[in-house]
Homo-oligomer: A and B are copies of this chain.
Amino acid sequence: VEKIIFTLLKQFDFMKRITIIDIAKMLSVNPSTVSRALADHKDVSSETKRKVRECAEQFNYIPNLHARFFRLKKSTQIALILPEVNMFFTPSLLNGLYAATEENGLSVVVFYSSNNLIREQESIKKCLSWAVDGVIIICSDETKDDSHLQDLVKAHIPVVLLDKVVDSDICQSVTIVDFDIAFNCCNILINKGCKSILAMFSSARFLMSQKRKKGVNEACTRSNISLENVHIEDVSSIEKTIMTMDLSKFDGIFVMSDEILFYLVGALRRIHFDINKIKISAISDGILPKNLGFDIDFVHHSGYEMGHTAVQRLIDQFT
C-alpha cells in the first residue's frame, strides 16, 4: 500500500505540497518521528534521519511555517517599524539591520508608519497580532513618548528603539549620544581656530536636534566662541533661509546630519558662495564629505553599526 501511495505522490508532486504526515505515511513511521528527524533531534536513529531527509528532498518538502509558528506561539520573526526611507542615513542603517537578522536566522516584517504617529500605533497592534518575537522601532517625527509601546512590553515582546528615539524607561535604545557627538564635532571647528560658528539643525521638534544643539552650545560656551543656531524646518527651503543671513560673519559651520549637509552645500553652490572660505564640520557617515568636493570634516556616525547593534540588543533580550 505504501508503495502505491509513494508512486501516486511521485506523480503528483508538482501540484501537491508534501507535509510531514505524507512523509510519515510513505515511510510507515509516525509524524512525530519525521518532525524530530527533520529537526535533527538527538534521539532519532541516524538511519531514520537519513531516510526522512532523503524523502523530504525527493518530494521537495516545504515546511509550513504558519503551522509551526501557530503551534509554537513564536515566530523567529521580528518587526521593523519604519517611518520612511530617506537617502542619507536609513540605507546604511537597514543594511546593518538586515545583515544582522540574516546572520541570526531571523525574518523581518516591515511596517511603514509614513512618519505618522497614528500609523505607528496601528503598526504596534499589528506586531501583537503577528506574534513577532521582537520589535525594532524607528520613531516617527510625531512621536513624543513611549506610551504606545506599553502594550508590547506588557506582552513581553522585547522592543529596541533605534536612531530616532524618544526617552524611555521601558525599553532599550540604540542611538548615538547626541550631546557628545555634537560637542566633539563642533570642537573640530573650534580647534581649527573658528571664532564665529553657525550651527545648523533639523527641526527643533526633534529630540535629536535639541540634544545636539545642547552639545554645540556647550562646546562654544566652554571655548567662549560666538554661536548662532539655525533650525531647518524643510530642506527645500534651505536656500531661502541662508539667503536671509549674512554668512560672511561666520568662519565655521556645524551641520548636524548628512541630510542638512547635502542640501546646504547645494544651496551654497546655487547662491555662488565660495565654500572654501569657510570651515564645515558635520555629523556624517562619511560618504558625502568625501564626495562633495571640499574639505569637510566629520565625526563618523555609522548607520550600519547601529542597525547591527539594534538586532543584537533585541536578541539579547530573547533569553
Contacts and interface: CB of A to CB of B under 8 A. Distances in A.
Interface of A: 14, 17, 62-67, 69-70, 75, 77, 80, 82, 84-88, 90-92, 94-95, 98-99, 101-102, 107-112, 114, 119, 125-126, 128-131, 154-155, 262-263, 265-266, 268-270, 287, 290-294
A102 B85 contact: no
A101 B85 CA distance: 15
A293 B112 CA distance: 33
Contact of A98 (B69, B82, B263, B268): B82
Count the copies.
Answer: 2
Contact of A95 (B84, B94, B98, B101): B84
Given A82-B98, A266-B293, A128 B62 contact: yes
Contact of A99 (B92, B110, B112): B112
- Which of A69, A75, A294 counts the most chain B CB atoms within 10 A? A69
B109 A102 contact: no
B84 A102 contact: no
Given A62-B129, A85-B98, 20 more contacts: A62-B128, A64-B131, A66-B66, A66-B70, A66-B130, A82-B98, A85-B90, A98-B110, A98-B112, A99-B114, A107-B109, A108-B109, A108-B110, A108-B112, A109-B109, A109-B110, A110-B110, A266-B292, A268-B293, A269-B292
A266 B70 CA distance: 52
B98 A91 contact: no
Nearest to A77: B109
A198 to B, nearest CB: 19
Contacts of A287: 87
A73 to B, nearest CB: 8
A93 to B, nearest CB: 8
A178 B99 CA distance: 30
30 contacts: A14-B154, A62-B125, A62-B128, A63-B129, A64-B129, A64-B131, A66-B66, A66-B70, A66-B130, A70-B70, A82-B98, A84-B95, A85-B95, A85-B98, A87-B88, A87-B91, A90-B91, A98-B110, A102-B114, A107-B109, A108-B110, A109-B109, A110-B110, A263-B291, A265-B293, A266-B291, A266-B293, A268-B293, A269-B293, A270-B293
B75 A70 contact: no
Nearest to A108: B110
Contact of A65 (B85, B129, B265): B129
A292 to B, nearest CB: 7
Contact of A67 (B70, B91, B92): B70
B91 A85 contact: yes
A90 B88 CA distance: 11
Nearest to A15: B154
Contacts of A101: 112
A229 to B, nearest CB: 23
A298 B22 CA distance: 58
- Which of A67, A114, A125, A126 counts the most chain B CB atoms within 10 A? A67
A255 to B, nearest CB: 14
